[in-house]
């Protein structure tokens, strides 16, 4: 009985304390007087921008398009990864960008947020970056939750927007962002990509818009043409390597290049036989820039003319450049060529290309073939300028560039597709997307894969079906089976 009375007493005290807490105002006792009263938009932006680096160095695309392959542990080169999770993009960078927009829009917070840059410029940057991340995501998975997403417990099971709907959303958002840019006002603080330079963000937005327009050119030709020509009419697109958009890295471990990090303690990635032999058979001097000489083997049938300038190239002929069979257990990796030493060993700040003159010139060449307005140049001229820009970016000698480019006296869509695949070396997301859209160059699936079909999308993580089944079933019914081989909306050929 005493224990019962004691427990009743304790519960009564707890109840009193709980009720008391509800009516007590502690004022600013728990506030940090030295900290901000709201989220700091500059920090949110910095964290969100780091995702651009992970997108530009994403491995699936370079492995699926056989630019590189894996060494002793092939997995994705054999297409063995069956599902992929997109949650981190929603809960990380996109949520940060949503918060930047909210803080710079809400009347109660926009004044404090403006300490980190003009409100409109912050919103514009967040919208551009959000669309860039969304395009990367939809080009992997297809339909995604968007218009009903980000509502938390108010709507934990949002519907999926189709890829066509997402592209329309992205066009609108990018155009809204460009209309908001104020060149006379301060750009956002925390901008590790462009240091708050809004003219660079405008160029980034137009590059994204051009890329999106060409991406949908088979699915919606009229919209694609209209959006592409709007960029051309503005005159604000990448025309030379001086204007290339790259992600710049810091030299510390927290901000250096992912490619450099991958080779700090392991050597898991080597240049594929497909890429090496394509360059070799076409006498393409980028062979000497895209790869390192193999340490432990030689290629038995070199085809390049003998070179006499050892300072110009690391080998006197192409025999030291050896590609690895795609998807094979390439156990002795020194038998094969690694990606460039400057990227994986020597310079941990070597930038990652996002949009380049080579990519844009080749896109313009394709648009010219489509009879779109491209500023007056013909397809062949733009095509050659694209190849030249690629070779100059990688440090190829002018004489060697001229010898290669002069070999083209006409241009076809197959030529453009091949040269874009080469020019997008190590830019996996763009290389994979353009290869799927153009169906070229012809790639032979790995003979070591259980399912010898190169993936054309990523499948949703299993949690999507279990947590949001009705909406999952709806998007699958619209776009096709949830596997690696269902083509996306824009992949119609």
- What would the mean pLDDT of 325-330 be, rounded to a whole number? 97
The C-alpha angle 77, 93, 157, rounded to 5 degrees, equals 85
pLDDT digits (tens, 9 = 90+) for 25-84: 445 444 455 555 557 999 999 999 999 999 999 999 999 999 999 999 999 999 999 999
Q: Band of the pLDDT at 18, cuts 50, 70, 90? A: very low
Q: Band of the pLDDT at 307, cuts 50, 70, 90? A: low
Higher-pLDDT residue of 325, 2? 325
Token readout for 288 is 């000497």
Dihedral Cα 257, 263, 264, 267, nearest 10 deg: 170
- Average pLDDT of the residues of the chain: 92
Tell whether the model's pLDDT for residue 298 goes beyond 80: yes
- Quote the CA–CA distance of 332 and 72 in Å, as a whole number: 7
- What would the mean pLDDT of 294-299 be, rounded to a whole number? 93
Residue 385 phi/psi, 5° resolution? -65, -35
* Domains located in the chain, CATH noted: 41-58+85-237+462-479 (1.25.40.390), 262-273+291-346 (no CATH), 355-425 (no CATH)
**How crowded is residue 183: how many other Cβ atoms within 10 Å of its Cβ?**
10
- Quote the CA–CA distance of 363 and 91 in Å, as a whole number: 33
At 25 the pLDDT is: 47
Half-sphere exposure (Cβ direction) of 288: Cα atoms closer than 13 Å? 23
At 292 the pLDDT is: 95
Long-range contacts of 304-308 (CB under 8 A, 24+ apart): 304/280
Tell whether the model's pLDDT for residue 309 goes beyond 60: no
Q: In the block, which residue shows the tokens 């080749």? A: 362
Q: Classify each residue of 315-346 as buried b or exposed e, where b means 16 or more C-beta atoms within 10 Å of its C-beta.
A: beebbbbbbbbbbbebeebebbbbbbeebbbe
Find out whether 44 and 50 touch, Cβ atoms under 8 Å: no
- Whether omega before 267 lies within 30 degrees of 0, making that bond cis, reads no
Find out whether 337 and 293 touch, Cβ atoms under 8 Å: yes
Tell whether the model's pLDDT for residue 312 goes beyond 80: no
Tell whether the model's pLDDT for residue 146 goes beyond 60: yes
The shares of helix, strand and coil residues in the chain, as percent rounded to the nearest 5, are 50, 5, 45
- What would the mean pLDDT of 468-475 be, rounded to a whole number? 98
Long-range contacts of 33-41 (CB under 8 A, 24+ apart): 36/112, 37/112, 38/103, 38/109, 38/112, 38/113, 39/99, 39/103, 40/116, 40/190, 41/99, 41/100, 41/103, 41/104, 41/113, 41/116, 41/117, 41/122, 41/188, 41/189, 41/190
pLDDT digits (tens, 9 = 90+) for 415-470: 999 999 999 999 999 999 999 999 999 999 999 999 999 999 999 999 999 999 99
- Work out the widest C-alpha separation in the chain, in whole angstroms: 102
- Quote the CA–CA distance of 320 and 314 in Å, as a whole number: 9
Contacts of 277 (CB under 8 A, 6+ apart): 323
Give the percent of the chain with pLDDT over 70.
90
Tell whether the model's pLDDT for residue 222 goes beyond 90: yes
Q: Band of the pLDDT at 10, cuts 50, 70, 90? A: very low
- Classify residue 426 as left (phi > 0), alpha (psi -120 to 50) or beta: left
């Amino acid at each position: 009985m005493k224990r019962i009375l004691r427990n009743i007493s304790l519960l009564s005290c707890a109840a009193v304390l709980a009720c008391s807490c509800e009516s007590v105002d502690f004022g600013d006792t728990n506030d940090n007087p030295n900290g901000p009263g709201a989220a700091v938009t500059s920090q949110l932006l910095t964290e969100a921008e780091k995702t651009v680096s992970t997108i530009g160095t994403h491995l699936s695309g370079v492995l699926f398009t056989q630019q590189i392959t894996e060494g002793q542990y092939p997995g994705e080169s054999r297409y063995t990864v069956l599902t992929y999770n997109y949650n981190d993009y929603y809960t990380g960078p996109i949520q940060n960008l949503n918060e930047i927009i909210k803080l710079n829009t809400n009347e109660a917070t926009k004044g404090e947020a403006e300490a980190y840059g003009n409100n409109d410029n912050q919103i514009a940057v967040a919208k551009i970056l959000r669309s860039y991340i969304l395009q990367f995501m939809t080009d992997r998975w297809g339909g995604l939750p968007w218009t009903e997403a980000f509502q938390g417990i108010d709507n934990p099971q949002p519907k999926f927007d189709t890829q066509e709907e997402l592209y329309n959303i992205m066009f609108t958002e990018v155009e809204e962002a460009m209309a908001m840019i104020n060149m006379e006002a301060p750009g956002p603080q925390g901008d590790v990509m462009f240091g708050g330079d809004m003219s660079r963000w405008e160029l980034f937005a137009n590059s994204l818009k051009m890329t999106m327009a060409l991406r949908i050119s088979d699915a919606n030709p009229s919209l694609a043409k209209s959006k592409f020509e709007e960029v051309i009419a503005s005159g604000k697109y990448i025309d030379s390597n001086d204007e290339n958009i790259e992600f710049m890295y810091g030299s510390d471990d927290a901000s250096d290049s992912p490619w450099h990090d991958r080779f700090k303690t392991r050597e898991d990635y080597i240049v594929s036989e497909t890429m090496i032999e394509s360059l070799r058979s076409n006498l393409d001097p980028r062979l000497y820039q895209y790869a390192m000489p193999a340490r432990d083997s030689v290629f038995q049938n070199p085809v390049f003319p003998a070179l006499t300038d050892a300072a110009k190239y690391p080998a006197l002929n192409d025999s030291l450049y050896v590609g690895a069979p795609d998807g094979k257990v390439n156990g002795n990796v020194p038998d094969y060529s690694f990606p460039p030493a400057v990227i994986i060993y020597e310079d941990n700040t070597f930038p990652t290309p996002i949009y380049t003159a080579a990519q844009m010139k080749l896109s313009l060449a394709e648009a010219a073939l489509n009879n779109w307005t491209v500023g007056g140049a013909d397809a062949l001229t733009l095509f050659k300028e694209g190849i030249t820009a690629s070779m100059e970016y990688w440090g190829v000698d002018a004489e060697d560039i001229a010898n290669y480019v002069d070999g083209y006296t006409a241009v076809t869509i197959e030529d453009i597709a091949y040269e874009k695949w080469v020019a997008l070396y190590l830019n996996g997301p763009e290389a994979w997307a353009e290869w799927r859209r153009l169906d070229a160059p012809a790639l032979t699936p790995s003979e070591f894969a259980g399912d010898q079909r190169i993936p054309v999308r990523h499948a949703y993580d299993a949690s999507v079906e279990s947590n949001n089944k009705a909406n999952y079933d709806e998007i699958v019914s619209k776009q096709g089976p949830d596997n690696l081989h269902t083509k996306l909306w824009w992949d119609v050929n």
